[in-house]
Structure 1
Amino acid sequence: MERADKDLAFLLRYENVAWFEDGEVRILDRRIYPAKVEFVTCRTHQEVAQAITDMVTQSAGPYTAAPMGMALAAWECRGKSADEQMEYLKKAAYTISHARPTTQKRMTLLCDICLKEAERALSAGENVAEAIKNKTIELNNVRYNRMAKIGSYLVDMFPDNGTVMTHCFAETIVGTMLRECRSRGKNIRLFCPETRPYFQGARLTASVCHDMGFDVTVISDNMPAFVMQNEKVDVFTTAADAICCDGHVVNKVGTFQNAIVAKYMGIPYFVTGAPDQGHETVDSIHIEMRDPNFTLQAMGVRTAMEGVKGYYPAFDITPPHLVSGVVTDLGIYSPYDLHRYFTDGSIGKDNLVI
C-alpha cells in the first residue's frame, strides 16, 4: 500500500504519530517535541485514551491514535468469542472516543469505522487487531490525500514569495501545503505564533516548516497584530477543531483575535478542513476548559506568583463574517454556503480532515 505521508516532515509520518505493534501503541510525545524525541508506550486502550486526554498527541494526532488504540483493544480481547470481542470493542470505542469533549463526534465516527472493520475481520476469520491497524493506515491515506487537495487550493491563495501566518498546529495541512509550495516553486515565508501554554506553534508547526526547508519565524502570542502590519503578511490561515455548518470556526484559543486583526488589516483568513454535519450550528459546540494551572507556567517553569489564578479555555469561536473562505478538498466555500459542500460530492459524515 503506497503511503500518502511521503516527503512530509518527521512529525507527520504515520509511525511518528501513533503506531500499534506487538501489543502496544507508541505515541510520539508532542508535549516535549522537538527538545526531546520520546514516545509514550500504551499497553491498554485505556492508556491510549488517557494519552489523548493528557495531550501527548493533539491536533490530528488523536485521529491516528484512536484507531490504533482500537487495534490494541482488539489485541487485548483476542482470545474471547466473537460476540465477546465485539462487546469489548464497543466499550473501548466509547472510552477512546470520549477522551476529549471537543473531538468526541469525529472520534466516534472513527471508532465506528473500526467496529465495522472488526465485524468484517471476525466474519472472514482474520486477525482483528491487524485488520484495524491496516484500516487505520488506509484512513490516514485517505485523509492525507484529501489534505493534499486542500493544500493545493490553499496554495492558490498564496502569492509567489508571499508571507503566511498560521496559528497553533494545522497538522497535515502544514506538510501538504508546503509540499505543494515546493512543487510549484513558491518560496513562501511563515510566521508562527507560539500558542501557549503547550507552544504547539513554536514546537510543532515551526518544526515541520523548518524540517521541510522553509523560512519560518516564531513569534509570541501578543505579536500577531504588529507582525501583520509590519511584515506584510499576505494570508492568515488555520485548520479547525470544528467547522460548524453555519460558518463558525472552532480552533485553538487566539484564532478569534487574530482573525479580527486580519480583517482590520485587510488580510484574508482561510480556514482549512471540512464542515461538520454533527455541528449544524455553533450552539452544539462545547468549549473545553483545561487545567488553569497550565497558564501559570511555561514548559514546566512557573511564571506567576503562588496564589495567582489561571484561566484556560482550549478553544475560541470565530464568527463567519471574519472568515474569507473555508478551504476544502472540493474547493473554497463561503462560510455562509457550507451546506453546498455536502451536495457537491463530499463523503459527508466521514469528514475527518485536519
Structure 2
Amino acid sequence: MKNGESSVNINKLVNAANIHVNLGGVSMEMNPQKVLDMETVALDDTNSELIIIDQTLLPGETKYLRLTSQGEIWTAIYELQVRGAPAIGIAAAYGAYLGIKNSAAADYDAFYAEFKKVKDYLATSRPTAVNLFWALDRMEDCVKCNREKSIADIKTALRKEADDIKAEDIWVCKSIGEYGLTLIEPNIGILTHCNAGQLATAKYGTALAPIYLGHEKGYKFKVFADETRPLLQGARLTAYELKSAGVDVTLICDNMASMVMKNGWVQAVFVGCDRVAANGDAANKIGTSGVAILAKNYGIPFYVCAPTSTIDMNCATGQDIHIEERKSEEVTEKWYATRMAPTDVKVFNPAFDVTDAPFITAIITEYGIAKPPYNKSLTEIFAKKDAAKK
C-alpha cells in the first residue's frame, strides 16, 4: 500500500485486533480493548478499495468490507454499513476519488464531466447528513482549483484532499472533546442517544469524545446509552464502544430516559447531529428531540456536539432540513425472529427529528462553544474558523 495517513495496513490491523481473515472478507473475533485502535473508514489505494467496518453486523460480528464499485459504496452509505455524519463524509470523499481514479479522460472538461457524474450519484445516498454534501463539494472544489494541472496531478490532489478530510476529522473530534470537558465535572452521570463515537467518525467521535478524553484522565463517568429505536445504534454501537473502552455504561430503552433523569442519575446530555441550522435547530437521530425536552424539564444541560462541517448556515431553521423516511421493515420485523406487527399496518419511520434551539444549552464545535442566540454565536464560530485558516 502507498504511504499516507488514511491508508490502512490490513495485516497490522488484523494482528492488533485479533481478527480472522476469510475469503469473504475480514470477520472478527476482536480483542475488546483494541476497539478504539480500529479504523472505521480507510483507503487501500493499491487495490483501489474503500475499507469500512460493516456496522449493521455489530456487535455480534465485526467484518471489514472492501468496496470497489460506486454501487457498493452508495449502498454502504444508504444501508448504514458506514454511518455517522463525519464517517459518511470521509467515505464519500474516498468514494469520489476511487470513482474517478481510473478515468481515461484526455482533457479537463471530460474529466470534470466524469467527476460530476460520480459526485451526483454518491450525493443521492443519504439526504439529511450535511457532511455527505460538504465532503463531495470539497472534492469538487479540489478538481476546479487544479484545472490547470495534468489529469494525473488532479487525481493526486483528490487523493490528498480525501486524506485531509479524514485527518481533519480526528483533530475536530479531539477538539470537541476538549471543549466538552470544560462544561462538566468528573464522576457525573451522562446520557447519550444514538451513536456519535469512534464508529461514526475517524477517531473519538463527537458526543462521545468528552467521555473518552475524560476516561483517559481518570474521570469516572457513568454513562446511560439509549437503545435508539428502530435501528438500535445505541444498543449495538454505543454500548459496545463504551464497554470495550472500559467506560461504565448502562443500556436503557428509549422510554426509560425520563426515569433515570428523575432519579438524579444524569447531570448532562451529549448528542451528535447530522445537520445544524443557522438558528441552532439541530437534526439528529430520531428520538433526540424527546430527550432534549425531558432534559429541559429536569434542568439538565443538553449539549449538541457539532463539527462545523455539519452546520449549515444556508439553512435558516430546522423546518428547512429534509428528514429522510426509511422503509417500514426496520420497525416491524428487522430485529425479530418473526414479524411483530400486523401485516400491512401503516408505519411512520423518520430517520431523524429536529431539536428546536430553545432546548439546546450549547453547541460544541472544534472552534469553541456556541450559546444562544445561535444566529450570532454560530456566525462568530465561523469567523474564528476563517481567521484560523489565514
TM value normalised by structure 2: 0.80
Structure 2: distance between partners of 1:16 and 1:2: 13
Distance change in 2, residues 1:100/1:200 (3 Å): same
Distance change in 2, residues 1:76/1:13 (3 Å): farther
* 2:41 pairs with one of 10, 17, 21: 17
Structure 2: distance between partners of 1:293 and 1:112: 33
Structure 1: distance between partners of 2:206 and 2:358: 23
Cα distance per residue 1:148-194 (max 9 Å; x no partner): 11111112222211110000011312453233203432111111011
Which residue in 1 is equivalent to 2:200? Answer: none
Which residue in 1 is equivalent to 2:164? Answer: 138
Which residue in 1 is equivalent to 2:67? Answer: 42
Which residue in 2 is equivalent to 1:308? Answer: 345
Which residue in 1 is equivalent to 2:358? Answer: 321
Which residue in 2 is equivalent to 1:352? Answer: none
| Paired residue type of 1:279 | C
Distance change in 2, residues 1:222/1:255 (3 Å): same
User: Contact 1:162–1:233 (CA<8 Å) still a contact in 2?
Assistant: yes
| Paired residue type of 1:343 | E
Which residue in 1 is equivalent to 2:26? Answer: none
Structure 2: distance between partners of 1:66 and 1:213: 31
Question: After superposition, where does 1:134-213 map in structure 2 within 5 Å?
Answer: 134-171=160-197, 172-213=205-246
| Paired residue type of 1:277 | M
Say whether 1:287 aligns with 2:323: yes
TM value normalised by structure 1: 0.88
Structure 1: distance between partners of 2:265 and 2:255: 17
Relative contact order, higher structure (CA 8 A, sep 6+): 1
Say whether 1:278 aligns with 2:278: no
CA drift of 1:295 comes to 0.6
Distance change in 2, residues 1:178/1:116 (3 Å): same
Structure 1: distance between partners of 2:370 and 2:186: 23
Distance change in 2, residues 1:149/1:106 (3 Å): same
Which residue in 1 is equivalent to 2:373? Answer: 336
Distance change in 2, residues 1:308/1:10 (3 Å): farther
Q: Please list every run of 5 or more consecutive structure 1 residues that lacks an aligned counterpart in the other structure.
A: 349-354
Structure 2: distance between partners of 1:30 and 1:287: 22
Structure 2: distance between partners of 1:215 and 1:240: 23
Cα distance per residue 1:58-114 (max 9 Å; x no partner): 11321111011012112242x2223322211111111112211112x4322211222
User: Contact 1:19–1:25 (CA<8 Å) still a contact in 2?
Assistant: yes
RMSD of aligned alpha carbons = 2.6
Structure 2: distance between partners of 1:129 and 1:75: 6
Q: Please list every run of 5 or more consecutive structure 2 residues that lacks an aligned counterpart in the other structure.
A: 9-31, 198-204
User: Contact 2:93–2:136 (CA<8 Å) still a contact in 1?
Assistant: yes
Say whether 1:114 aligns with 2:150: no
Q: Secondary structure at the match of 1:74?
A: helix
Number of aligned positions between the proteins:
343
User: Contact 1:193–1:220 (CA<8 Å) still a contact in 2?
Assistant: yes
Question: After superposition, where does 1:68-87 map in structure 2 within 5 Å?
Answer: 68-77=94-103, 79-83=104-108, 84-87=110-113
Identity of aligned residues (%): 27
| Paired residue type of 1:162 | I
